[in-house]
Amino acid sequence: MAPEISSFETRVRKWQRTALVLGLVGMAFAAAGLAMDRQSFAQSYLVAFLFWLGTALGCLPLIMLHHLTGGNWGFPIRRVMEIAVSTIPLLGLAFLPVAGGLQDLYLWARPEAVAHDLILQQKQLYLNPSFFCGRAVFYFVVWSLWAMALSKGSKAYDQNPSSRIQGRLQMLSGAGLVMYGLTVSFASIDWAMSLEPHWYSSIYGFMFMIGQTLAAFALVILMTRALAEEGPLTPLVNTLRIHDLGKLLFAFIMLWAYIGLSQFIIIWSGNLKEEIPWYLTRFSGGWQIPAFALAAFHFVVPFGLLLSRGLKSRLTTLAPVAGLILVMRYVDLVWLVKPAFSDTLSLTWMDAACMAAIGGLWIAWLLHRILNSSLALSHDPLLHAPQEVSHEKNS
């Protein structure tokens, strides 16, 4: 007799099918866009790739942070984050269209442009197609191996919660945070900052690190909301843990704003001709619209809402704020990347197609892994708490 399928599993499978259909339809439209306009497709695809990779990769420092510091906030979400980072090798395959469209994206990849530009010639030792692709392979191998080691160690600790395994995970996490900082900094320079190879910022990599972590945290809160509604996370969340998630989201939002404002003040006050055009382009030609939207909806509105303890303590009110942040993370990437190609605001249907293609397939696979995994950590204190505490109502 076939096992009975729960209403939760039925709901998640419905989401999975919807995501898969969305991904396949997005792939069809993206393929059409590639045939019609290679350059527009490459630009739209790069933004979508950076968004979905960053959302998955941002879970890696959160996992390592929890191993190092502990805290109840990480117990209900850590397994979901481990599943998310396990998809990094698949997202490595999604890098192939970027590698195939180097000349459509990067000025330094065009021999005719390099031949007439002294600055590009001086940077050619680093910015060249072979070394660029080699570094990308290195990044994905390192991220994948670290994610695999953390996941394996976490499962081993579940089976045998010894101080030896815990110490190994803490050592791996300490070194991993350094690894993450270095690799993401170089990757952001390679994939985004080098779109405008005459401009540079020493804080650019840190902006990407905070953005990725914020996107990952917003996604995890949304996943917790979905999985805690008569699902496997129901006994693992309570008001205090939700409040901790809200406080951390609040902290990451403030850190994102601080880093972005710091870069703006330094470059604007310096007023150097090599640096200031980057902002002049992004505050004119229609690009000021997403700039002001980011200030309002990526910081001011979430900041004001998250000042409320009551809002931070309920998933039903915290999740919409996380959803807003996730949307604004995409707007932020559009604002960072696309002005490199056009001085005027330019959005096309290919932006939506590429987002749907990568995101739909990625979410479908993520939900498949979630359905086939145990989301509870065996050493979670709430699993051993009295029944009335562990099943506190949260929504």
In the predicted structure, residue 200 carries a pLDDT above the cut 70? yes
The residues, any chain, with a CB within 8 Å of residue 7's CB and separated by 6 or more, are 230
pLDDT at 154 over 70: yes
Q: Which of 359, 80, 352 is nearest to 222 (CA)?
A: 80
**Measured distance CA(94)–CA(99) in Å, rounded:** 10
Provide, rounded to the nearest whole percent, the portion of the chain with pLDDT above 90.
81
- Assign 389 a pLDDT band (cuts: 50, 70, 90): very low
Q: Is the pLDDT of residue 336 over 90?
A: yes
Q: What is the pLDDT of residue 377?
A: 82
Give the model confidence (pLDDT) of 229-286 as tens digits: 767 788 888 899 999 999 999 999 999 999 999 999 999 998 888 899 999 999 999 9
pLDDT band at 16 (very low <50, low <70, confident <90, very high): very high
Q: How confident is the model at residue 5 (pLDDT cuts 50, 70, 90)?
A: low
Inter-residue contact 190 to 126 (CB < 8 Å):
no
Domain ranges of the chain: 32-390
Encoded tokens for 227: 């999985």
Residue 274: the pLDDT is 85
Write down the pLDDT at residue 386: 54
pLDDT of residue 390: 40
The pLDDT of residue 117 is above 50 = yes
Q: pLDDT (tens digit, 9 = 90+) per residue, 83-105? A: 999 999 999 999 999 999 999 99
Supply φ then ψ for residue 181, to 5 degrees. -60, -45
- What's the whole-model pTM score? 0.94
Between the CA atoms of 389, 390, 394 and 395, what dihedral angle is there, to the nearest 10 degrees? -120
Average pLDDT, the chain: 91
Instruction: Work out the pLDDT band at 374, boundaries 50, 70, 90.
Output: confident
